[in-house]
Amino acid sequence: MKYLITGSNGLLGQKIISQLINRKINFLATSLGENRFSKCPGNQYQSLDITDQKQVNEVIGAYQPDVVINTAALTNVDACEEDQEGCQSINVNAVHFLMGACEKNKAHFIQLSTDFVFDGEKGNYAEEDERNPLSFYAKSKVNAENILFNHSFKNWSILRTIIVFGKGENLSRSNIVLWAIESLKKGQKLTIVNDQFRAPTWADDLAWACIRVGEINARGVFHIAGPEIFSVYELVQRIARFHQLDERLVQPISSDTLNQKAKRPPRTGFDLTKSREVLGYCPMTLEQSLAFLEI
């Protein structure tokens, strides 16, 4: 079996590659520009601009993968409000190109999506719950999902996830867990929203699920996240407690005080029943995953 990964320089891409290497599974890593992950062999990496349809067709056509995992995306929610054209190009148009190339080459296409496709009025969402995006970023991910839903080619999967965290190499963006640990160790005061509820996802768990879906050719939508739903404020409190750092540095604030460009859903979190039963997904708790983070 052969996997092709887009966005291989990102956190999730790196975790997928590490697990494929450990399991001696063939893969081609692709990302825009040079390879920035030291564990990825140079002969298993190729630069790829997924917004270029010709490149997408050439690379996938030449490698002939059994599974394509698209981890590439613009995920900065506020930046997507400002650069809607760029967001549309990477998060939607590129998915159309990748889906077309997978159809031509009969490859299983796995698309990563987000809890932000929901409006956050309900929480603990199941795969079939109604989507209602609140931001341009969220709309772009709904539109990408719709490309798959409405396509004549049916060998695809969508994995929705929530606040992916972990440690990687040469990443263009940090994540809230690493940021919180580093800030608290410096004794910095943190103001954290207490009215947004999520189920943070250990990147290694998500990588496992991506590979597993390809392995068993599981089709359709799967919710992949951490096993607990709690506020972002509680998340940072628990990080401080785990690392025996000063919890008094963590102060609660309301989302309304931040004046963020993009609207966020107040409460998400996922019902993981389907992923547990079909994939055998068994995510780590926050504290279990923090024990693996070398900071």
Q: Is residue 119 part of a domain?
A: yes
CATH of residue 14's domain is 3.40.50.720
Q: What is the pLDDT of residues 19-75, one digit of tens each?
A: 999 999 999 999 999 999 999 999 999 999 999 999 999 999 999 999 999 999 999
Q: Which domain covers residue 221, as residue numbers?
A: 2-167+200-226+268-284
Q: Is residue 29 part of a domain?
A: yes
Q: Is residue 56 part of a domain?
A: yes
Q: How confident is the model at residue 295 (pLDDT cuts 50, 70, 90)?
A: low
What percentage of residues in the chain have a pLDDT greater than 90?
Answer: 96
Q: Is residue 181 part of a domain?
A: no
- The residue-averaged pLDDT of 279-295 equals 91
Q: What is the pLDDT of residues 142-180, one digit of tens each?
A: 999 999 999 999 999 999 999 999 999 999 778 999 999
- Work out how many domains the chain is built from and give that number: 1
Q: Is residue 145 part of a domain?
A: yes
pLDDT of residue 294: 67
β-strand pairing of 190-193 with 164-165 = unpaired
Q: Helix/strand/coil (H, E, C) string of 98-135? A: HHHHHHHHCCEEEEEEEHHHCCCCCCCECCCCCCCCCC
User: What are the phi and psi torsion angles at 124 (to 5°)?
Assistant: 50, 55
Q: Is residue 129 part of a domain?
A: yes
pLDDT of residue 273: 98
Centre a 10 Å sphere on the Cβ of residue 60 and count the other Cβ atoms it contains.
25
